[in-house]
Amino acid sequence: MLQYSTRRLIMLLPILFFVLLITFTLGFYGPGDPLTTFFGDDAFMADDPELINRLRRLHGLDRPFWVQFGDYITGYFKGDLGNSIIEKRPVLDMIKAGAPISAQLGLAATIVLVFTGIPLGVLCAVKQNTWVDYWIISFSISLRSIPVFVLAPLLLIILVLKLGVLKKTPIGWEGIFSQKVIIPVLLMAAGPMLGIVRMARSGVLEVIGQNYVRTARAKGMGERMVISKHIVKNSMTPVMTTLGLTMSGLITGALFVELIFGIPGVAGLGIWAFKRRDYPVILATTAMGSFLIIVANLLVDLGYGLLDPRVRYE
């Protein structure tokens, strides 16, 4: 187990390296080098080649690709993510400000996912091929089909304009316990819900025909106890495998939710960086998203062995 974990950790490094290399290359050859973005509308300054060249040398932008990449990657290992071109402050500070907010939203959405997705999936399996099953699955498919940027305005139109339930638009961030958080969190949980429901459903269906379940029933155990003690407990390992996908879905959800509701988290930061071509910030947020997905997948693989002793690592 320890040997396997170390090997997995070492295998992560090349993937991380290539992720950084790809993001850096895309940034390097992307439109607008940092200086032109920096000057923005002050085009008269950008017209002076002498000045541009001096600035280029000053910031080390005239060096070859690999040298700059080396700088960039060692900076990352030292915790230096560069400076934002637009905001002119360290990217690390910006991420530090946004990360806790995104993390809280993500955690809240995960809790919603676990406490609604798993029970719904179990219900589907227990009532397999009845209308309950069909409706829950159809409902989850529709949640997955409606993009967040459509669901959000539709909800606002219905709640604010038609029903008048909300007095004003829930925009901004006032801590995780304010009411404004409810709609964003539900929207973030909407997309990945289908994966969890499906996995919980098929996990339960796998277990439900096992002999020990029949034995539990045969010895007179109540159906409720059979389901909670024997079926659900033993069927949750496959649900774990969706964690990686869930992470990806939560990140995508967060991108839109934070943009639409003006929440100052990391994902929103990334989207704004895209809109303003702030490459150091784009690089850092993309790398961070990839890092989260890689870690989630690693946790899935390692957690599998802990939850299910039958799994053997070669």
Partner 1 sequence: MTTEKNDNNEITEDQVTVADEFQAVAQRSLWADAYERLARNKAAMLGLFISGIIMIAALFGPYIKPYDDLEINLFNIAQNPNGDHWLGTDLLGRDVLSRMLMGARTAVFVAVLVSFISNVLGVVLGAMAAYFGKIVDDIIMRVADITFAFPDLLLAAFISSSARRPVIDFADKVREATGWEVLENTVFIDYTMVFGALAIVSWAGVARLIRGQVLSLREQDFIRAEVALGATGWRIIRKHLIPNSIAPVIVSISAGFGGVMLLESSLSFLGLGIQPPGASWGNMVSSNMDKWRAYPLLVAIPGVVLAVAVFGFNFLGDGINDAINPRQIKR
Helix (H) or strand (E) holding 233: helix 233-235
Q: Is 43 in the site for partner 1 (CB under 8 A)?
A: no
| Among residues 206, 264, 302, 303, the one that binds partner 1 under rule CB under 8 A | 206
**Within 13 A of 29's CA, how many CA atoms are on the CB side?**
7
Q: Is 69 in the site for partner 1 (CB under 8 A)?
A: no
- Residue type for position 128: Q
Alpha-carbon separation of residue 165 from 109, 159, 184, 189, 238 (angstroms): 23, 5, 16, 22, 39
Region of 43-51, 65-73, 102-110, 279-287 interacting with partner 1 (CB under 8 A): 279-287
* Footprint on residues 120-179 left by partner 1 (CB under 8 A): 129, 134, 138, 141-142, 144-147, 149-151, 153-154, 156-157, 160-161, 169
Q: Is 56 in the site for partner 1 (CB under 8 A)?
A: no
CB nearer partner 1, residue 132 or residue 271: 271
What is the rounded CA–CA span in Å between residue 143 and residue 133?
16
Alpha-carbon separation of residue 151 from 108, 146, 179, 272, 314 (angstroms): 19, 6, 18, 21, 45
What is the rounded CA–CA span in Å between residue 72 and residue 77?
9
**90 in helix, strand or coil?**
strand
Report in angstroms how near the CB of residue 304 gets to partner 1 at its nearest.
17
| Among residues 9, 26, 67, 306, the one that binds partner 1 under rule CB under 8 A | 26
Structure tokens at 168: 């004003």
**Binding stretches for partner 1 (CB under 8 A):** 14-15, 18-19, 22-23, 26-27, 29-32, 129, 134, 138, 141-142, 144-147, 149-151, 153-154, 156-157, 160-161, 169, 202, 205-206, 248, 251-252, 255-256, 259-260, 270-271, 274-275, 277, 282, 285-286, 289-290, 293-294, 297
